[in-house]
Amino acid sequence: MKKTFSLLIITLTVLSCSVSHTNISEKTTELHSDIWTAFRDENTRLIGYKDKDETVKIEPKFAFVSPCDEFYNIIAVLEEIDGEVKNYHLTKTGKIAGIDSLYYFDNALDCETEGFIRFRDHKIDKAGLLDRNGNVAIPAEYDYLEKVINGVIVVLKGGEKKYSDPGKEHNPWIGGKDMLIDTLNNILIDNFTEGGHLDFFSMEKTKTPHPDTIRKSFLAKDGGYYSFIDFEKEFEQWLNNDLLSALTAYKFINAPADSIGWRITDYWEDYIAGSRGKINRQEFITDNFETLKKELLENPYISVPPFIYYEYSGNSRERIYPVIEVRNSGKGYNNCYDFLRTDKGYELINVGIRTGELKLNADIYSDIGNIYYDKQAYDEAIEYYQKAIKLKPDFATAYYYIGEAYIKKGDESKGLEYKNKAETLGYKRPTPSP
Protein backbone atom coordinates (compact mmCIF):
# COMPACT_ATOMS: atom_id res chain seq x y z
CA MET A 1 0.00 0.00 0.00
CA LYS A 2 1.21 3.47 -0.82
CA LYS A 3 2.49 5.28 2.26
CA THR A 4 0.83 8.65 2.83
CA PHE A 5 1.98 11.50 4.98
CA SER A 6 -0.10 13.81 7.12
CA LEU A 7 0.85 17.45 6.93
CA LEU A 8 0.02 20.19 9.34
CA ILE A 9 -1.10 23.33 7.52
CA ILE A 10 -0.68 26.60 9.43
CA THR A 11 -1.50 30.00 8.03
CA LEU A 12 0.35 32.71 9.92
CA THR A 13 1.70 36.20 9.57
CA VAL A 14 4.41 36.29 12.15
CA LEU A 15 7.91 37.34 11.28
CA SER A 16 9.09 40.49 9.65
CA CYS A 17 12.58 41.56 8.79
CA SER A 18 13.13 44.74 6.84
CA VAL A 19 14.11 44.45 3.19
CA SER A 20 15.51 47.30 1.19
CA HIS A 21 13.97 48.56 -2.01
CA THR A 22 15.23 51.47 -4.01
CA ASN A 23 12.74 54.21 -4.76
CA ILE A 24 10.32 53.04 -7.41
CA SER A 25 9.71 55.55 -10.14
CA GLU A 26 6.29 57.06 -10.64
CA LYS A 27 6.07 55.60 -14.13
CA THR A 28 6.01 52.09 -12.70
CA THR A 29 3.66 52.74 -9.78
CA GLU A 30 1.18 55.11 -11.35
CA LEU A 31 -2.39 54.38 -10.36
CA HIS A 32 -4.80 53.42 -13.11
CA SER A 33 -7.97 55.31 -12.19
CA ASP A 34 -9.88 54.14 -15.24
CA ILE A 35 -9.53 50.36 -15.28
CA TRP A 36 -12.10 48.40 -17.25
CA THR A 37 -12.89 44.95 -15.93
CA ALA A 38 -13.76 41.89 -18.00
CA PHE A 39 -17.16 40.23 -17.67
CA ARG A 40 -18.69 37.25 -19.45
CA ASP A 41 -22.11 36.99 -21.07
CA GLU A 42 -23.93 34.11 -19.37
CA ASN A 43 -25.48 32.83 -22.58
CA THR A 44 -22.77 33.25 -25.21
CA ARG A 45 -19.79 33.08 -22.80
CA LEU A 46 -18.26 35.92 -24.81
CA ILE A 47 -16.22 38.53 -22.93
CA GLY A 48 -16.73 42.27 -22.71
CA TYR A 49 -15.58 45.11 -20.44
CA LYS A 50 -17.18 47.41 -17.86
CA ASP A 51 -15.80 50.50 -16.15
CA LYS A 52 -15.65 51.04 -12.40
CA ASP A 53 -19.27 52.30 -12.42
CA GLU A 54 -20.44 49.05 -14.06
CA THR A 55 -21.12 50.87 -17.32
CA VAL A 56 -20.56 48.54 -20.27
CA LYS A 57 -17.76 49.98 -22.38
CA ILE A 58 -17.43 47.00 -24.76
CA GLU A 59 -20.28 44.57 -25.31
CA PRO A 60 -19.28 40.89 -24.98
CA LYS A 61 -17.65 39.82 -28.24
CA PHE A 62 -14.20 38.42 -27.44
CA ALA A 63 -13.74 34.68 -27.26
CA PHE A 64 -11.62 31.54 -27.64
CA VAL A 65 -8.66 32.56 -25.49
CA SER A 66 -9.60 34.72 -22.53
CA PRO A 67 -8.23 38.25 -22.78
CA CYS A 68 -6.91 40.06 -19.73
CA ASP A 69 -9.14 40.52 -16.72
CA GLU A 70 -8.27 44.22 -16.60
CA PHE A 71 -8.12 46.67 -19.49
CA TYR A 72 -5.65 49.45 -18.70
CA ASN A 73 -4.72 50.95 -22.07
CA ILE A 74 -4.28 48.16 -24.60
CA ILE A 75 -5.30 44.50 -24.81
CA ALA A 76 -4.85 41.52 -27.14
CA VAL A 77 -8.14 39.96 -28.29
CA LEU A 78 -9.72 37.39 -30.58
CA GLU A 79 -13.08 38.03 -32.19
CA GLU A 80 -15.21 36.03 -34.60
CA ILE A 81 -16.34 38.20 -37.50
CA ASP A 82 -18.44 36.71 -40.32
CA GLY A 83 -17.42 33.19 -39.34
CA GLU A 84 -13.72 34.00 -39.30
CA VAL A 85 -11.58 34.47 -36.18
CA LYS A 86 -9.75 37.80 -36.18
CA ASN A 87 -6.96 38.66 -33.74
CA TYR A 88 -5.67 42.12 -33.01
CA HIS A 89 -4.67 44.62 -30.33
CA LEU A 90 -7.24 47.16 -29.16
CA THR A 91 -6.73 50.44 -27.33
CA LYS A 92 -9.33 52.23 -25.20
CA THR A 93 -9.72 54.82 -27.91
CA GLY A 94 -10.89 52.06 -30.24
CA LYS A 95 -7.70 51.92 -32.27
CA ILE A 96 -6.90 48.54 -33.80
CA ALA A 97 -3.19 47.71 -34.06
CA GLY A 98 -0.90 44.73 -34.41
CA ILE A 99 -3.31 42.62 -36.47
CA ASP A 100 -2.38 38.91 -36.60
CA SER A 101 0.55 39.45 -34.26
CA LEU A 102 -0.62 38.33 -30.83
CA TYR A 103 2.00 37.13 -28.36
CA TYR A 104 1.10 33.86 -26.65
CA PHE A 105 2.78 32.34 -23.62
CA ASP A 106 1.64 29.40 -21.50
CA ASN A 107 -1.44 29.15 -23.75
CA ALA A 108 -2.54 32.66 -22.79
CA LEU A 109 -2.52 36.08 -24.42
CA ASP A 110 -0.08 38.69 -23.22
CA CYS A 111 -1.34 41.53 -21.04
CA GLU A 112 -0.13 45.12 -20.76
CA THR A 113 2.56 45.92 -18.22
CA GLU A 114 3.78 49.45 -17.53
CA GLY A 115 2.01 50.67 -20.67
CA PHE A 116 3.54 48.07 -23.03
CA ILE A 117 2.33 44.81 -24.51
CA ARG A 118 4.36 42.22 -26.40
CA PHE A 119 3.59 41.23 -29.99
CA ARG A 120 5.07 38.64 -32.35
CA ASP A 121 5.61 38.86 -36.10
CA HIS A 122 4.70 35.28 -36.94
CA LYS A 123 6.17 35.50 -40.45
CA ILE A 124 9.68 35.86 -39.05
CA ASP A 125 8.91 34.49 -35.57
CA LYS A 126 10.34 37.52 -33.79
CA ALA A 127 8.90 39.56 -30.92
CA GLY A 128 8.71 43.24 -30.06
CA LEU A 129 6.70 45.75 -28.01
CA LEU A 130 3.69 47.96 -28.67
CA ASP A 131 3.11 51.00 -26.48
CA ARG A 132 -0.19 51.86 -24.84
CA ASN A 133 -1.31 53.70 -27.98
CA GLY A 134 -0.70 50.71 -30.24
CA ASN A 135 2.49 52.09 -31.77
CA VAL A 136 5.60 49.97 -32.22
CA ALA A 137 7.97 50.85 -29.37
CA ILE A 138 10.45 48.06 -30.07
CA PRO A 139 10.44 46.34 -33.47
CA ALA A 140 10.08 42.57 -33.79
CA GLU A 141 13.75 41.62 -33.69
CA TYR A 142 14.05 39.42 -30.61
CA ASP A 143 13.46 35.72 -30.15
CA TYR A 144 11.95 36.26 -26.74
CA LEU A 145 11.04 39.11 -24.39
CA GLU A 146 9.99 39.08 -20.78
CA LYS A 147 7.47 41.64 -19.58
CA VAL A 148 8.56 45.21 -18.89
CA ILE A 149 9.66 45.49 -15.28
CA ASN A 150 10.70 48.87 -13.88
CA GLY A 151 11.29 50.12 -17.42
CA VAL A 152 13.65 47.31 -18.47
CA ILE A 153 13.17 44.06 -20.39
CA VAL A 154 15.10 40.79 -20.48
CA VAL A 155 15.45 39.73 -24.13
CA LEU A 156 17.02 36.93 -26.14
CA LYS A 157 18.58 37.35 -29.55
CA GLY A 158 20.19 34.82 -31.86
CA GLY A 159 18.67 31.75 -30.24
CA GLU A 160 17.54 28.52 -31.85
CA LYS A 161 13.98 27.36 -31.31
CA LYS A 162 13.88 23.79 -30.09
CA TYR A 163 11.08 22.14 -28.13
CA SER A 164 12.11 19.14 -26.09
CA ASP A 165 8.51 18.87 -24.91
CA PRO A 166 6.37 20.66 -27.52
CA GLY A 167 3.71 22.99 -26.17
CA LYS A 168 4.87 22.86 -22.56
CA GLU A 169 7.91 25.12 -22.47
CA HIS A 170 7.53 28.80 -21.76
CA ASN A 171 10.82 29.68 -23.44
CA PRO A 172 11.89 27.01 -25.97
CA TRP A 173 14.98 28.76 -27.33
CA ILE A 174 18.51 27.51 -26.76
CA GLY A 175 21.73 29.41 -27.37
CA GLY A 176 21.75 33.06 -28.37
CA LYS A 177 22.50 36.03 -26.15
CA ASP A 178 20.49 37.25 -23.17
CA MET A 179 20.49 41.04 -22.85
CA LEU A 180 18.82 43.70 -20.76
CA ILE A 181 17.31 46.62 -22.67
CA ASP A 182 15.11 49.59 -21.87
CA THR A 183 11.83 50.55 -23.51
CA LEU A 184 13.70 52.73 -26.05
CA ASN A 185 15.52 49.58 -27.21
CA ASN A 186 18.83 50.72 -25.74
CA ILE A 187 21.05 47.85 -24.60
CA LEU A 188 21.92 48.30 -20.92
CA ILE A 189 23.63 44.96 -20.31
CA ASP A 190 25.03 43.15 -23.33
CA ASN A 191 25.56 39.83 -21.57
CA PHE A 192 22.77 39.31 -19.05
CA THR A 193 22.82 35.76 -17.75
CA GLU A 194 20.39 36.20 -14.90
CA GLY A 195 21.33 33.11 -12.92
CA GLY A 196 18.83 33.80 -10.17
CA HIS A 197 15.59 35.53 -9.24
CA LEU A 198 16.26 39.26 -9.28
CA ASP A 199 14.39 42.27 -7.93
CA PHE A 200 14.46 44.64 -10.89
CA PHE A 201 13.12 47.44 -8.73
CA SER A 202 16.37 47.35 -6.75
CA MET A 203 18.49 48.20 -9.82
CA GLU A 204 21.51 50.39 -9.05
CA LYS A 205 24.34 51.72 -11.22
CA THR A 206 27.85 51.85 -9.74
CA LYS A 207 31.38 52.27 -11.09
CA THR A 208 32.52 48.93 -9.66
CA PRO A 209 30.71 45.68 -8.78
CA HIS A 210 28.39 46.23 -5.82
CA PRO A 211 29.94 45.08 -2.51
CA ASP A 212 26.66 43.84 -1.04
CA THR A 213 26.70 40.03 -1.14
CA ILE A 214 22.94 39.76 -1.70
CA ARG A 215 23.32 41.63 -4.98
CA LYS A 216 24.34 40.40 -8.42
CA SER A 217 26.38 42.76 -10.55
CA PHE A 218 26.55 42.87 -14.34
CA LEU A 219 28.90 44.82 -16.59
CA ALA A 220 27.02 47.70 -18.23
CA LYS A 221 27.40 48.24 -21.97
CA ASP A 222 28.36 51.90 -21.44
CA GLY A 223 30.74 51.16 -18.55
CA GLY A 224 30.21 50.61 -14.85
CA TYR A 225 27.93 47.97 -13.38
CA TYR A 226 24.24 47.42 -12.83
CA SER A 227 23.31 45.40 -9.77
CA PHE A 228 20.11 43.82 -8.45
CA ILE A 229 19.04 42.17 -5.22
CA ASP A 230 18.82 38.40 -5.62
CA PHE A 231 15.70 37.24 -3.75
CA GLU A 232 17.22 33.90 -2.77
CA LYS A 233 20.48 35.42 -1.52
CA GLU A 234 18.61 38.08 0.44
CA PHE A 235 16.32 35.54 2.05
CA GLU A 236 19.13 33.10 2.83
CA GLN A 237 21.07 35.85 4.59
CA TRP A 238 18.03 36.79 6.64
CA LEU A 239 17.26 33.16 7.43
CA ASN A 240 20.78 32.48 8.69
CA ASN A 241 21.48 35.78 10.44
CA ASP A 242 18.14 36.99 11.77
CA LEU A 243 15.43 34.36 11.86
CA LEU A 244 16.99 32.09 14.48
CA SER A 245 17.10 34.88 17.05
CA ALA A 246 13.76 36.37 16.03
CA LEU A 247 11.69 33.20 15.95
CA THR A 248 9.97 32.56 19.29
CA ALA A 249 7.04 30.48 20.43
CA TYR A 250 5.41 33.72 21.62
CA LYS A 251 5.36 35.10 18.07
CA PHE A 252 3.80 31.91 16.76
CA ILE A 253 1.16 31.87 19.48
CA ASN A 254 0.19 35.52 18.94
CA ALA A 255 0.12 35.42 15.16
CA PRO A 256 -3.19 36.77 13.79
CA ALA A 257 -4.72 33.50 12.64
CA ASP A 258 -8.07 32.25 13.93
CA SER A 259 -6.97 28.67 14.36
CA ILE A 260 -4.37 26.11 13.43
CA GLY A 261 -5.77 23.22 11.46
CA TRP A 262 -4.37 20.22 9.67
CA ARG A 263 -5.43 18.03 6.81
CA ILE A 264 -4.44 14.74 5.28
CA THR A 265 -2.63 15.40 2.03
CA ASP A 266 -1.22 13.25 -0.73
CA TYR A 267 -3.84 11.18 -2.52
CA TRP A 268 -6.49 11.23 0.26
CA GLU A 269 -7.19 14.97 0.19
CA ASP A 270 -9.60 14.69 3.13
CA TYR A 271 -10.35 17.33 5.70
CA ILE A 272 -11.33 16.48 9.21
CA ALA A 273 -14.98 17.44 9.54
CA GLY A 274 -16.21 20.27 11.75
CA SER A 275 -14.53 21.32 14.93
CA ARG A 276 -12.30 18.25 15.06
CA GLY A 277 -10.04 20.05 12.57
CA LYS A 278 -9.15 22.70 15.19
CA ILE A 279 -6.18 22.53 17.51
CA ASN A 280 -5.57 24.72 20.54
CA ARG A 281 -2.96 27.18 19.30
CA GLN A 282 -1.03 27.77 22.50
CA GLU A 283 -0.91 24.11 23.48
CA PHE A 284 0.18 22.99 20.03
CA ILE A 285 2.89 25.62 19.55
CA THR A 286 4.24 25.23 23.07
CA ASP A 287 4.56 21.48 22.57
CA ASN A 288 6.05 21.67 19.08
CA PHE A 289 8.00 24.91 18.82
CA GLU A 290 11.46 23.36 18.90
CA THR A 291 10.44 20.87 16.20
CA LEU A 292 9.02 23.66 14.03
CA LYS A 293 12.20 25.70 14.35
CA LYS A 294 14.45 22.71 13.74
CA GLU A 295 12.54 21.66 10.63
CA LEU A 296 12.80 25.18 9.24
CA LEU A 297 16.52 25.65 9.79
CA GLU A 298 17.82 22.13 9.19
CA ASN A 299 19.06 21.46 5.63
CA PRO A 300 16.97 24.22 4.00
CA TYR A 301 16.39 24.23 0.27
CA ILE A 302 15.29 27.71 -0.77
CA SER A 303 13.46 28.41 -4.02
CA VAL A 304 11.40 31.11 -5.69
CA PRO A 305 8.49 29.57 -7.61
CA PRO A 306 8.71 30.50 -11.30
CA PHE A 307 5.11 31.69 -11.48
CA ILE A 308 6.11 35.06 -10.01
CA TYR A 309 7.43 35.91 -13.45
CA TYR A 310 4.15 35.39 -15.24
CA GLU A 311 1.19 35.98 -12.96
CA TYR A 312 0.85 39.71 -13.03
CA SER A 313 -0.53 42.33 -15.37
CA GLY A 314 -0.79 46.10 -15.50
CA ASN A 315 1.41 46.90 -12.51
CA SER A 316 4.65 44.89 -12.55
CA ARG A 317 5.46 46.01 -9.02
CA GLU A 318 3.77 42.80 -7.89
CA ARG A 319 6.92 40.99 -8.94
CA ILE A 320 8.82 42.28 -5.92
CA TYR A 321 6.55 40.27 -3.61
CA PRO A 322 7.39 36.63 -4.34
CA VAL A 323 6.63 33.74 -2.05
CA ILE A 324 9.88 32.10 -0.97
CA GLU A 325 9.63 28.36 -0.41
CA VAL A 326 11.86 26.65 2.15
CA ARG A 327 11.85 22.86 2.12
CA ASN A 328 13.76 20.42 4.27
CA SER A 329 16.10 18.69 1.84
CA GLY A 330 17.53 16.18 4.28
CA LYS A 331 14.55 13.82 4.38
CA GLY A 332 12.52 11.80 1.94
CA TYR A 333 9.38 13.89 2.38
CA ASN A 334 8.88 17.60 1.95
CA ASN A 335 8.35 19.67 5.04
CA CYS A 336 7.72 23.15 3.71
CA TYR A 337 7.57 26.76 4.86
CA ASP A 338 6.35 29.65 2.71
CA PHE A 339 7.44 33.24 3.33
CA LEU A 340 5.91 36.24 1.59
CA ARG A 341 8.22 39.14 0.80
CA THR A 342 6.52 42.41 1.80
CA ASP A 343 7.53 46.05 2.17
CA LYS A 344 7.94 45.41 5.89
CA GLY A 345 9.95 42.23 5.50
CA TYR A 346 9.46 38.52 5.16
CA GLU A 347 6.30 37.07 6.68
CA LEU A 348 5.73 33.39 7.37
CA ILE A 349 2.39 32.57 5.76
CA ASN A 350 2.29 28.78 5.56
CA VAL A 351 3.88 25.81 7.29
CA GLY A 352 3.49 22.19 6.30
CA ILE A 353 5.26 19.44 8.24
CA ARG A 354 4.64 15.74 8.79
CA THR A 355 2.42 15.06 11.78
CA GLY A 356 4.63 12.13 12.69
CA GLU A 357 7.23 14.66 13.84
CA LEU A 358 4.76 16.57 16.04
CA LYS A 359 3.05 16.18 19.36
CA LEU A 360 -0.72 16.13 19.01
CA ASN A 361 -3.39 15.14 21.49
CA ALA A 362 -4.96 11.69 21.70
CA ASP A 363 -8.29 12.73 20.19
CA ILE A 364 -6.60 14.17 17.10
CA TYR A 365 -4.49 11.05 16.64
CA SER A 366 -7.68 9.02 16.88
CA ASP A 367 -9.37 11.26 14.29
CA ILE A 368 -6.46 10.70 11.92
CA GLY A 369 -6.77 6.97 12.55
CA ASN A 370 -10.48 7.16 11.70
CA ILE A 371 -9.76 8.82 8.37
CA TYR A 372 -7.24 6.16 7.41
CA TYR A 373 -9.60 3.45 8.62
CA ASP A 374 -12.44 4.80 6.47
CA LYS A 375 -10.08 4.79 3.50
CA GLN A 376 -9.11 1.17 4.23
CA ALA A 377 -5.51 2.22 4.96
CA TYR A 378 -5.40 -0.06 7.98
CA ASP A 379 -1.64 0.04 8.67
CA GLU A 380 -1.74 3.82 8.92
CA ALA A 381 -4.94 3.68 11.00
CA ILE A 382 -3.30 1.32 13.50
CA GLU A 383 -0.24 3.60 13.68
CA TYR A 384 -2.32 6.61 14.71
CA TYR A 385 -4.61 4.70 17.09
CA GLN A 386 -1.43 3.47 18.81
CA LYS A 387 -0.25 7.10 19.15
CA ALA A 388 -3.58 7.93 20.77
CA ILE A 389 -3.28 5.04 23.23
CA LYS A 390 0.26 6.04 24.14
CA LEU A 391 -1.06 9.41 25.32
CA LYS A 392 -4.31 8.04 26.73
CA PRO A 393 -3.80 4.43 27.90
CA ASP A 394 -7.50 3.89 28.72
CA PHE A 395 -8.71 5.05 25.28
CA ALA A 396 -11.21 2.23 24.78
CA THR A 397 -12.45 3.40 21.36
CA ALA A 398 -8.93 3.42 19.95
CA TYR A 399 -8.38 -0.15 21.20
CA TYR A 400 -11.61 -1.26 19.59
CA TYR A 401 -10.78 0.16 16.17
CA ILE A 402 -7.24 -1.21 16.26
CA GLY A 403 -8.93 -4.56 16.71
CA GLU A 404 -11.26 -3.88 13.80
CA ALA A 405 -8.30 -2.82 11.63
CA TYR A 406 -6.38 -6.02 12.41
CA ILE A 407 -9.45 -8.12 11.57
CA LYS A 408 -9.80 -6.23 8.25
CA LYS A 409 -6.12 -7.06 7.62
CA GLY A 410 -6.86 -10.76 8.21
CA ASP A 411 -5.36 -11.09 11.70
CA GLU A 412 -8.50 -12.05 13.63
CA SER A 413 -6.65 -13.31 16.70
CA LYS A 414 -4.85 -10.02 17.28
CA GLY A 415 -7.98 -8.10 16.42
CA LEU A 416 -10.06 -9.90 19.06
CA GLU A 417 -7.31 -9.29 21.62
CA TYR A 418 -7.63 -5.52 21.13
CA LYS A 419 -11.43 -5.59 21.03
CA ASN A 420 -11.56 -7.53 24.29
CA LYS A 421 -9.23 -4.96 25.83
CA ALA A 422 -11.62 -2.23 24.65
CA GLU A 423 -14.56 -3.92 26.33
CA THR A 424 -12.52 -4.35 29.53
CA LEU A 425 -12.01 -0.56 29.47
CA GLY A 426 -15.76 -0.05 29.14
CA TYR A 427 -16.23 0.26 25.37
CA LYS A 428 -19.87 -0.18 24.39
CA ARG A 429 -20.62 -1.16 20.85
CA PRO A 430 -23.17 1.16 19.15
CA THR A 431 -26.65 -0.34 19.14
CA PRO A 432 -27.64 -1.11 15.51
CA SER A 433 -30.47 1.02 14.14
CA PRO A 434 -33.78 -0.87 13.85
The model's pLDDT over 186-239, given as tens digits with 9 standing for 90+, comes to 999 999 987 678 999 999 999 999 999 999 999 999 999 999 999 889 988 888
Residue 277 confidence class, pLDDT cut points 50, 70, 90: low
Does 181 fall in a domain? Answer: no
CATH number for the domain harbouring residue 378 = 1.25.40.10
Does 301 fall in a domain? Answer: yes
**DSSP strand pairing (116-121 vs 126-131):** antiparallel
Does 242 fall in a domain? Answer: yes
What is residue 30's predicted lDDT score, i.e. its pLDDT?
Answer: 45
Q: What is the span of the domain harbouring residue 218?
A: 11-31+198-355
Q: Using CA atoms in the order 231, 233, 235, 238, what is the torsion angle rounded to 10 degrees?
A: -140
Whether the pTM exceeds 0.75: the reply is no
Does 272 fall in a domain? Answer: yes
- The count of structural domains within the chain is 2
Domain boundary among 306, 327, 355: 355
Does 159 fall in a domain? Answer: no
Domain boundary among 334, 355, 376: 355
What is residue 285's predicted lDDT score, i.e. its pLDDT?
Answer: 73
What is residue 188's predicted lDDT score, i.e. its pLDDT?
Answer: 97
Q: Is the pLDDT of residue 407 over 80?
A: yes
Same domain assignment for residues 273 and 372 = no
Same domain assignment for residues 241 and 323 = yes
Q: Which of 3-7, 31-35, 97-101, 328-332 has the lowest mean pLDDT?
A: 3-7
Same domain assignment for residues 202 and 351 = yes
Please state the rounded mean pLDDT for residues 172-183. 89
Q: Which of 25-39, 78-92, 231-245, 270-284 has the lowest mean pLDDT?
A: 270-284
* Cβ-based neighbours of 241, under 8 Å, separated by 6 or more: none
Distances (CA, A) of 182 to 21, 23, 330, 425: 20, 18, 43, 77
Does 47 fall in a domain? Answer: no
Same domain assignment for residues 330 and 288 = yes
Q: Is the pLDDT of residue 406 over 90?
A: yes
Which range has highest mean pLDDT (135-149, 307-321, 343-357)?
Answer: 135-149
Same domain assignment for residues 373 and 389 = yes
Q: Which of 135-149, 197-211, 320-334, 362-376 has the lowest mean pLDDT?
A: 320-334
What is residue 166's predicted lDDT score, i.e. its pLDDT?
Answer: 53
Please state the rounded mean pLDDT for residues 331-349. 73
Same domain assignment for residues 348 and 366 = no
Same domain assignment for residues 219 and 335 = yes
What is residue 359's predicted lDDT score, i.e. its pLDDT?
Answer: 77
Same domain assignment for residues 241 and 304 = yes
Identify the bridge partners of residue 126 per DSSP, sorted by sequence position: 121
Ramachandran quadrant class, 188 (left: phi over 0; alpha: psi -120 to 50; beta: rest): alpha
Domain boundary among 331, 355, 379: 355
